């Protein structure tokens, strides 16, 4: 079954607020100050456009490309773009695997996106995304974290149960096949990126990360 977020698009924001209040949005915006002056920004799997709205407020110049396969998510995101900014936001209604970029980007942002994919899917998609970036380009990511020893934290049963419930719901409602969060850091590091910063939420199983492409002189 193909993955489709159309059915959950309208309820997504309400569900997010009910479960996490403003915490998810704070994670998305944690590194916003690093891209205030960026000129070409790629948002992959942006969903309803919560981050896009904030980005347009702090960066008045950037051209923004949004790659999002759900039509209903795109409608929501479009409704959050002020009239004056319409010309600098391009919506590409496609899965990232089908996206053919016209140039490179200074920054790519992925928020609560990689958790939709199984390990083999992430290993195929992430290098493709990293290749869309300039030689010193940034990848800004936020996602859920599995409560395992590798996360550097004490195992929390409440986080484990929360993630299983979310996967149960989204698996049923959208068709995603993944059942656990696969950590992207080893794949990013293996593809010539360095980890510039990582932030673990104090109470919730979220994590924010900034990776930068290692500049190689030719």
Ligand X SMILES: C[S@@+](CC[C@H](N)C(=O)[O-])C[C@H]1O[C@@H](n2cnc3c(N)ncnc32)[C@H](O)[C@@H]1O
Residues that bind ligand X (CB under 6 A): 3, 5, 28, 44-47, 67-70, 73, 95-97, 111-113, 116
Burial of 157 (0-12, 13-18, 19+ CB in 10 A): exposed
Q: In angstroms, what is the minimal distance from the CB of 139 to ligand X? A: 14
* Token duo for residue 107: 């920054």
Comparing CB distances to ligand X, the nearer of 95 and 200 is 95
Comparing CB distances to ligand X, the nearer of 55 and 73 is 73
Comparing CB distances to ligand X, the nearer of 97 and 190 is 97
Comparing CB distances to ligand X, the nearer of 35 and 214 is 35
Q: In angstroms, what is the minimal distance from the CB of 18 to ligand X? A: 14
Q: In angstroms, what is the minimal distance from the CB of 214 to ligand X? A: 25
Q: In angstroms, what is the minimal distance from the CB of 76 to ligand X? A: 9
CA distance 114 to 44: 10
How many angstroms from the chain centroid is the CA of residue 179? 17
Give the DSSP letter of residue 143: E
Q: In angstroms, what is the minimal distance from the CB of 216 to ligand X? A: 28
- Per-residue DSSP letters for 20-75? HTTHHHHHHTTTGGGGTT-SEEEEES-TTSHHHHHHHHH-SS-EEEEE---HHHHH
Comparing CB distances to ligand X, the nearer of 79 and 155 is 79
Residue 128 near residue 96 (C-beta atoms within 8 A): yes
């Amino acid at each position: 079954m193909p993955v489709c977020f159309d059915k959950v698009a309208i309820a997504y924001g309400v569900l997010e607020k009910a479960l996490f209040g403003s915490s998810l949005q704070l994670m998305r915006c944690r590194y916003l100050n690093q891209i205030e002056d960026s000129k070409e920004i790629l948002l992959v799997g942006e969903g309803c456009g919560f981050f896009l709205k904030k980005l347009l407020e702090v960066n008045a110049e950037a051209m923004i490309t949004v790659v999002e396969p759900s039509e209903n998510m795109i409608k929501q995101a479009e409704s959050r773009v002020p009239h004056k900014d319409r010309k600098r936001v391009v919506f590409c209604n496609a899965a990232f695997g089908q996206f053919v970029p016209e140039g490179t980007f200074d920054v790519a942002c992925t928020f609560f996106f990689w958790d939709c994919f199984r390990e083999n899917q992430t290993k195929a998609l992430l290098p493709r995304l990293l290749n869309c970036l300039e030689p010193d380009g940034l990848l800004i990511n936020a996602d859920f974290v599995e409560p395992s020893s590798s996360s550097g934290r004490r195992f929390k049963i409440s986080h484990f149960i929360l993630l299983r419930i979310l996967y149960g719901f989204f698996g049923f409602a959208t068709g995603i096949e993944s059942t656990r969060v696969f950590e992207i850091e080893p794949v990013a590091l293996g593809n010539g990126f360095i980890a510039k910063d990582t932030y673990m939420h104090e109470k919730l199983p979220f994590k924010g990360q900034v990776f930068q492409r290692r500049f190689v002189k030719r």
